[in-house]
Amino acid sequence: MAKKLYRFVPERKKNVFLNNLIDAGGNIGRAASKSGITRQTHYNWLHEDAYYASVYNDKIKPMCVSVLEDEAQRRAMGFEEDVYYKGVRVGTVTKYSDKLMEVLLKANAPEKYRERVENKITSDEPASFGWDTGDAGMEGDEP
C-alpha cells in the first residue's frame, strides 16, 4: 500500500518533496534525493513561489521539528538495540541518552530545569568599570 501523500500546495512534485522533507526531519538533501530533484530546486521554489515559501515556513518547518523532537524523546526514554556475537543476534540491550533527556527537560520545563547563575557581591566597596586609558606598556610608541 502506497503512503498517503499530503497536499500542501497545488503541484504534485512540490508535495512529494514536502512530504519527504517531513519524513527526513527537515534534511533537505535527503528529501531532494528521495524526490528526484536537486537541493537547488527547493531553493528555487522558495525564491520563485511565495505560496510555497509561506507553506514551507509556516507548516513544514514546525512539522519537521516535531519529527526531530519525537526521535529525540524516543532516544532519551530508551530504545532497543540488537546485540550480536560472531555475527549472530544473541539479544537486545536498552540504550538511553541522558543528554537528550536533559535537553528535553530544559526545553519543556525551563522554569524548573534551566541553568541558574547566582551573582554575589563580596565587597562593600562600590564597583566601578571603565576603560584603562593609561600608557602602560606603550613605551617608545609615538603617534
The verdict on residue 75 lying in a domain is yes
pTM above 0.85, yes or no: no
Average pLDDT, the chain: 89
Length of the chain: 143
Start-to-end C-alpha separation, the chain = 80
Number of domains in the chain: 1
The verdict on residue 74 lying in a domain is yes
| Farthest-apart Cα atoms in the chain, separation | 83
Which string of DSSP letters, residue by residue, matches 57-72? IIIIHHHHHHHHHHHH
Host domain of residue 74: 12-113
| Strand positions, DSSP E, the chain | 79-85, 88-95
Confidence of residue 52 (pLDDT cuts 50, 70, 90): very high
The verdict on residue 128 lying in a domain is no
